[in-house]
Amino acid sequence: MAQNENLAELSKAGVSVWLDDLSRDRIRSGNLAELVATRSIVGVTTNPTIFQGALSQGHTYDEQVKELAAQGADADAAIRTITTDDVRAACDVLAEVFEASGGVDGRISIEVDPRLAFDTDKTVAQAVELWKIVDRPNLFIKIPATEEGLPAITRVITEGISVNVTLIFSVERYRSVMGAYLDGVRKARIAGHDIAHIHSV
């Protein structure tokens, strides 16, 4: 299938085109792979609102929800399992893009629970947990650039985990985010991580 000319031109100009949507139907139907092939898509970002929409439409998740309920999973645990399963599968769809770009593109982003945006320690703990559950090198953990999020960004990068920073609304906050990122990279190198594998957007 032919590429969309406009998106292909953007891609040639150095723009990484990301999709702001993800669902199991999109993955299973081959639509995500088709968008990679025909729309220059090289990344996907997700958030709780996106997954809420996916879960509320159709019956794709019904069987897994029943299984998780039978196992005694509460709502948060069920949502975590469902979303990490989808993100892992999406990471696999974009694995070839990830490899071909040397790890620059082919990334999938999953967000730490927004209710933790003002709690540094819990943000770090969930970021590490999500990284381990998804277990794919082309994962980004999305962390908000709140005051409490800034040290979380540093600590998560120090663990060798790639981060997507969201909610940056000023140049001043962007500078603070860059400082948090650079501090994390320095500490990751001291900790013995290969910093060539740590990326951020």
Catalytic machinery residues? 142
12-46 in b/e form (b: 16+ CB < 10 A) is: eeeebbbbeebbbebbeeeebeebbeebbbbbbbb
CA distance 97 to 201: 17
The CB-side HSE value for 3 (13 A sphere, CA atoms) comes to: 14
For residue 92, the Cα-to-chain-centroid distance in whole angstroms is: 13
Task: Give CA angle at 114 (159, 88), nearest 5°.
Answer: 55
